[in-house]
Amino acid sequence: MPVHSADRDAFYSVEKLNEGRRGDLAERMGIKITECTRERMSATMPVAGNTQPFGLVHGGAYVVLGETLGSIHSNYLAPEGMVAVGVDINATHTGSATEGEVTAVCIPVHVGKSLAVHEIVITAENGRRCSTVRITNFYKPMK
């Protein structure tokens, strides 16, 4: 949810995001925000409850994790009076986790007046990269 710039840092604090401002799906999947600054955003997600039938994290779960971070961060950086809406997302899965939790780190690649592009790298507890997600958000005027 976009907010006036004077309230932005408080609205996007880790505590506030984890109190329900990260969305119902993210909450249901156990996504916990661990950092939110202008430079990056990070979160964890448990493997348990987010797997496909073979016990690996579901590829769609990686995408939800990536979109959660990219969307929230795009709105955090949104120009005054604008809201970010997703227009493109893609993911390349190069590994998978089977236990514990995964960690996602979201970095803005480009933030302009009309578009924001973020790359989200998701790793298993052993440091192995599991997925790389790229999301593009379009900034449009708030109604």
Which residues are catalytically annotated? 67
The label of the residue with tokens 């592009």 reads 117
Task: Give CA–CA dist 72/67, Å, rounded.
Answer: 8
Rg (CA), the chain: 15
Q: How far is CA 1 from CA 34, 43, 84, 100, in A?
A: 19, 18, 9, 30
Q: Residues of 76-112 as b/e, b for ≥16 C-beta within 10 angstroms? A: bbbbeebbbeeeebebebeebbeeebbbbbbebeebe
Q: Which two tokens stand for residue 10?
A: 């408080």
